[in-house]
Amino acid sequence: MPLNIVSLVSVGRHPQSGRERRAEQDGRAVELGMNLEASQSASMTVLHAGRSVEPVLRNYAGMGLPSLEVLELSEQDDAVPSLAQYLKASDADIVLTGVRAESGESSGMVPYLLAEELGWPLVPRIADIVSINNGVAEILLALPRGQRRSLSVPLPFVASVDNAAPAPRQSAYGPGMRASIDASQVTAVTDSAREQWQEAPAKPRPKRLKVVKAKTAADRFKAATAKPQGKAGKVMKNESAQEQAQEIFNLLLEEKVIK
């Protein structure tokens, strides 16, 4: 059975002009999906939860998509329930999203909420999907400073795509205009929490100056490139899963993540 990939796209926002655009990470999710489509002969769906008349969708389509699926929602609706409902009904194997949206709440919670809802593992910040064999995908996680971690994840899963993933291909006007945008009506759930909120432009916060104390060029180079040496923490490779889990639990308690 061919692999089914769903890439979720949102309306991006240019940091300088504030104008709507193809979101950087969502574009990468589409790019990754299209590459898998070509290399794994997978079938791919690009899905947007929002308004189907959104002109930005044409920018995604311009990457060479014949069609886009839209779950018709209005501004104040919560995207997650509709997306989850759609994905449950579909036979998706991989769901790709950006790490966080460039507009709206931009909380970065959508992949987590979806994964929870679907009961699938979530792979955050991936740089690439190297291969998929026998229902197991080999994934590269993006770590800071260009580092990668290789991971094997059984299908199905949700993955958020990091900026380290290959840049999205150029969007061409003609194919973008030609693509069909198939809107389907869904039962919308109003985001009641959000209704209470007031939005205001963010104020720039003062940043701590980074003082490089290095005396020589070699030191400065090291400061700029070297992997930060973690002061705390320990590497546990040979311990049993029970011990490892206990250690994580202790850490979470220590950091007051759980009480």
Partner 1 sequence: MFFEWLHPVLIATALALAVIGAVRRANLWRAGQPDQVNLIAGLKAMPKRYLHDLHDVVERDKYMSKTHAATGGGFVLSALLIILVHMLDIDSKILAWALLASSALMFVGAIFVFKRRLNPPSRISKGPWMRLPKSLLAFAGSFFILTLPAAGVLPEGFLLQAGNVLLTVVLTALIIWGMGEMFFGMSWGGPMKHAFAGALHLAFHRRQERFGGGRSTGLKPVDLSVVQEFNPGTSEQQVLGVSKPKDFKWNQLLGFDACVQCGRCEAMCPAFAAGQPLNPKKLIQDMVIGLAGGDDSKYAGSPYPGKEVGNAKGGPEQVITEGLVSAETLWSCTTCRACVEECPMMIEHVDAIVDMRRFLTMEKGDTPNKGAEILDNIIATDNPNGYSPASRTNWAADQNLPLMRDVQQAEVLFWVSDGAFDMRSQRILRSFVKLLKAANVDFAVLGDEELDSGDVARRLGDDAAFQNLAKRNLETLSKYKFSKIVTTDPHAYHCLRNEYQDLGSDALNGVDVLHHTTYLNELVKQGKLKLDSFNGGTVTYHDPCYLGRYNGEYEAPRELLRSLGIQVAEMERSGFRSRCCGGGGGAPITDIPGERRIADMRMEDVNSTGAELVAVGCQQCTAMLEGVVEPRPEVKDIAEILAGQLIEEVH
Q: Work out whether 170 is an interface residue with partner 1 (CB under 8 A).
A: yes
Enumerate residues 6+ apart whose C-beta is below 8 A from 82. 49, 71, 73, 186, 187, 188, 189
Q: Which of 1, 16, 229, 238 binds partner 1 (CB under 8 A)?
A: 16
Select from 103, 93, 195 the least CA-distant residue to 153.
93
Q: Percentage helix, strand, coil, to 5, in the chain?
A: 30, 25, 45
Per CB under 8 A, does 251 bind partner 1?
no
Query: At closest approach, how far in Å is the CB of 32 from partner 1?
Result: 17
Q: What gap in Å lies between CA 200 and CA 230, rounded to an integer?
A: 37
| d(C-alpha 148, C-alpha 128), whole Å | 10
**Placement of tokens 């040496």 in the chain:** 229
Told to check if 210 binds partner 1 by CB under 8 A, we report no
64 sits near partner 1 (criterion: CB under 8 A): yes
Give the DSSP letter of residue 63. T
Instruction: Decide if residue 28 touches partner 1 (CB under 8 A).
Output: no
Contact call for residue 202 and partner 1 (CB under 8 A): no
177 part of the interface to partner 1, by CB under 8 A: yes
Cα(238)–Cα(44) distance, rounded to whole angstroms? 40
Select the residue interacting with partner 1 from 103, 117, 175, 183 (CB under 8 A): 175
User: Both tokens of residue 48?
Assistant: 């947007």
> Contact between 178 and partner 1 (CB under 8 A)?
yes
Among 17, 185, 216, 242, binds partner 1 (CB under 8 A): 17
Instruction: Report whether the peptide linkage leading into residue 121 is cis, meaning its omega lies within 30 degrees of zero.
Output: no
Judged by CB under 8 A, the number of residues near partner 1 is: 17
Q: Which stretch binds partner 1 (CB under 8 A): 71-79, 140-148, 170-178, 190-198?
A: 170-178
Q: Is 63 in the site for partner 1 (CB under 8 A)?
A: yes
Q: Which is nearer to partner 1, 63 or 115 (CB)?
A: 63
Binding residues vs partner 1 (CB under 8 A): 14, 16-17, 19, 21, 62-64, 169-175, 177-178
